[in-house]
Structure formats: C-alpha cells, structure tokens
Amino acid sequence: MMDLPTNISPQDQARILSEALPHMQQYDEETIVIKYGGHAMGEENLARQFARDIVLLEQTAINPVVVHGGGPQIAAMLTRLGIKSEFASGLRITDAATIEIVEMVLAGSINKQIVSHINEAGGKAVGLCGKDGNMVTATKATRTMVDPGSNIEKVVDLGFVGEPDKVDLTLLNQLIGYELIPVLAPLASSANGQTFNVNADTFAGAVAGALKAKRLLLLTDVPGVLDKSKKLIPELSIKDARKLIADGTISGGMIPKVETCIYSLEAGVEGVVIIDGKTPHAVLLELFTNQGTGTLIHK
C-alpha cells in the first residue's frame, strides 16, 4: 500500500494491510473522483506515488476517476512562447491564442504524462477531456468586479473560460468498472462547438455530482480548511461551511473550493475532502486509515 521502511517487520506490514480492510470494504465498487493538481503534479516522486496509489484503488475494487489541473504548466508554456496573460478577479483571461496553448498542455502533455505514470504502475489509464463523447458541455463564464476608480461593479469578459452546464455519462459508464481508469482534462465544448477552459475543481465537482460519487477528493497545496488560528478543521457540514464563508474564516481561493464542495454534495456526492496533495500517499491516508487527512465536508 505504501513505501514501508525496511525496518518494519513483516508482521507489522501485514497488520497495516489488515487494518485497512474495513475501509476498503466501505468503498468496495464505489466511485471516487480525485482532483489532482498543485505542486504535487510537478514533483516526479510524488507524481509516481500518486499513480501507484490510483492503481491500488482500482485493484481493491474501487473505481477511481482522476481530474487534473495544470495552471503552473500552462503559465510556463505561455511564458516560453512569449504570450502574455491578463488577469481579472484572480482568473486568467483566456483569449484565442491562449486557449490553443491551454488545450495543448492540458489535453496533451499533462494528461498523457499522468496516463503514462498510471500505466507504468500497472494500471490501464485512458486520457480524455470533457470534449470527448460530449462528456461535459459548458457555457461561457462571466465574473463581476468592482472598478477601483469608480467603485462601480462591472462584468468582466474572461474569454474562453466556461462553467459546466451538462455532464453526459455515456462514455464514462463504458470505462468505470472495467479495470480502466479515466484521466480527465478540464476542457469542454459549448453547444456550438467552442472550446472552453474550465476550472479543474469545478469540472471535478460536476463530474462527481453526475456520477453520485462516494467521495470527491480535492488535492490542493494546503492541509485543508483552517480556522482563524490556522489549525486544521477536520470536519464540516454544509451549514458550518457557509457560516465560515460568511464570517471570513474561509477566504480567498478557498471560497470557490468550498463552494464546489457544497455544489457537488447537493448534486449527490456523499462526502468531499480537501487534502494536501504534497503529503505522500494523501489519497490512501484519507481513504484507508482511521485518522484520514484534510477536511471532510458532508451534508
């Protein structure tokens, strides 16, 4: 299950595996959607550990679906090609030149690298994006921001950035449960065939909700939701989460993550966990141990 130190006795290794059994039974034949992103994606050792852990889930009769991001890799490629990015309300404005690079990096190099790691670890991964089989269709996303000069709220055109509109499970249902591991890039088409870049958390939440997944795991660069003294909050209800957003405890980039959690729970996901993807074997720690890791949000 994990890279156990050589000084652990065979008996202890067997005990660790045995103690994981009740957790494996809890998720038997269930679907787990894992949003994989952040700096863990860029570290070779963590990326290979993640791939092995995903294969282990499939080998224990769990149905993993991986959704990945790629913000840092996209930014690096845009810089390399001399394409300057504009931002509004913290979101990249994706123009016609940028969406070509986004699609190339997300559905190309990143997606196939994750697929390769999983296959190398003994799995059978299939790399797709939301455009394949009309899996995810999207509508154009808009945001409003307050102009600092006039203090007037105005609509910001983000270009080719979309919000999930519909999820068609026809293709995923052909893969899930057949020893195949879908690896999904967060790109989608509009009704008229335009390509949209979709936030990976939002994309994962929409897919998890449509699949009525047992768990949605959001791997991030932080331990989970923190209280005002910066201590981890291990568990929250939807009501608790909304209170913490209202009083400012949950702020900044954590707000859209938690809102994605709430959306997916209301769409039918049983539980959502925000965990630190930089922690070795974070997925296994959450699913197969009593302590878990990160913040669990539930109904």
Q: What is the pLDDT of residues 173-198, one digit of tens each?
A: 999 989 999 999 999 999 888 999 99
Q: Which amino acid is at 200?
A: A
Strands 235-237 vs 295-298: parallel, antiparallel or unpaired: parallel
100 part of a folded domain: yes
Q: Residue 218 is part of which domain span?
A: 27-298
Q: Is the model's pLDDT at 5 over the cut of 60?
A: no
Q: Is the model's pLDDT at 1 over the cut of 50?
A: no
Report the CATH number that the domain containing residue 130 is assigned in CATH: 3.40.1160.10
The residue-averaged pLDDT of 108-118 equals: 94
2 part of a folded domain: no
Neighbours of 139 (CB within 10 A): 14
Q: Which of 30-39, 71-80, 90-99, 129-138 tops mean pLDDT?
A: 129-138
Report the distance separating Cα 46 and Cα 281, nearest Å.
8
21 part of a folded domain: no
* Three-class DSSP category at 231: coil
Give the pLDDT band of residue 204 (cuts 50, 70, 90). Answer: very high
Cα–Cα–Cα angle for 165, 167, 168, rounded to 5 degrees: 140
12 part of a folded domain: no
Q: Please count the structural domains in the chain.
A: 1
Burial (CB < 10 A; 0-12, 13-18, 19+), residue 294, is: buried
Cα–Cα–Cα angle for 189, 166, 30, rounded to 5 degrees: 115
- In this predicted model, which residue has the larger pLDDT, 288 or 125? 125
The two tokens of residue 208 are 């998890």
In angstroms, what CA-CA distances link 251 with 87, 219, 227, 242?
19, 18, 11, 11
The whole-model pTM stands at 0.89
Residue 162, strand partner residues:
140, 198
Q: Is the model's pLDDT at 6 over the cut of 60?
A: no
So what's the pLDDT on residue 142? 78
17 part of a folded domain: no
Report the distance separating Cα 161 and Cα 140, nearest Å.
6
The two tokens of residue 217 are 């795991």
The two tokens of residue 60 are 């224990």
Give the pLDDT band of residue 3 (cuts 50, 70, 90). Answer: low
Neighbours of 154 (CB within 10 A): 11
Report the distance separating Cα 121 and Cα 48, nearest Å.
8
96 part of a folded domain: yes
| Average pLDDT taken over every residue of the chain | 88
Report the distance separating Cα 142 and Cα 158, nearest Å.
6
So what's the pLDDT on residue 149? 65
How far, in whole angstroms, is CA 21 from its chain's centroid? 26
- In this predicted model, which residue has the larger pLDDT, 280 or 213? 213
